Amino acid sequence: MKKPLRLGDLQVAILRVLWDEGEATVTRVTEALAGKRRAPTTIATMLTKMEHRGLVAHRVEGRQFVYRPRLSEQEVTNTLVADLTQRLFEGDISALVSHLLRSEEIDKDELVRLRAMIVEREREEAGP
């Protein structure tokens, strides 16, 4: 099994900026995260750590590093949800969904969308 991907809130926030923009400098990431009040040195340090982990890569433009994500949002989401499901629910997807249904506010429109997703998945599983 692939090593679980563990990301902190700041790492996810940085990746979101990179996913949204495609690539960005430390200055741009800092601006995009202005509400989180992070210093440019903190962002630069985190990007360096993330690059060592293979999460981002950079190119040099003038005197600045321009960072880009090495993993797609879907890849990160899939890995984090699979790890959460395994760790908290021993891999039992129905237990995860049951937990969400019981513990979260879900309006009628969301329930309709969820039912439609289940029907679509059943059709896909049934094949042509």
Picking from 4-8, 50-54, 80-84, 97-101, which range would have the lowest pLDDT averaged per residue?
Answer: 4-8
Closest C-alpha to 49, from 84, 17, 14: 14
Reported as a single tens digit per residue, the pLDDT across 115-125 is 999 999 999 99
Instruction: Please answer whether residues 67 and 17 qualify as being in contact, where contact means their C-beta atoms are separated by less than 8 angstroms.
Output: no
| 127 vs 42, residue with greater confidence | 42
Reported as a single tens digit per residue, the pLDDT across 70-95 is 999 999 999 999 989 999 999 999 99
Average pLDDT over residues 97-102: 92
Note the helical H segments in 25-107. Answer: 26-32, 40-52, 73-89, 93-103
pTM (predicted TM-score)? 0.80
CA distances from 16 to 12, 19, 26, 33, 61 (A): 6, 5, 14, 10, 22
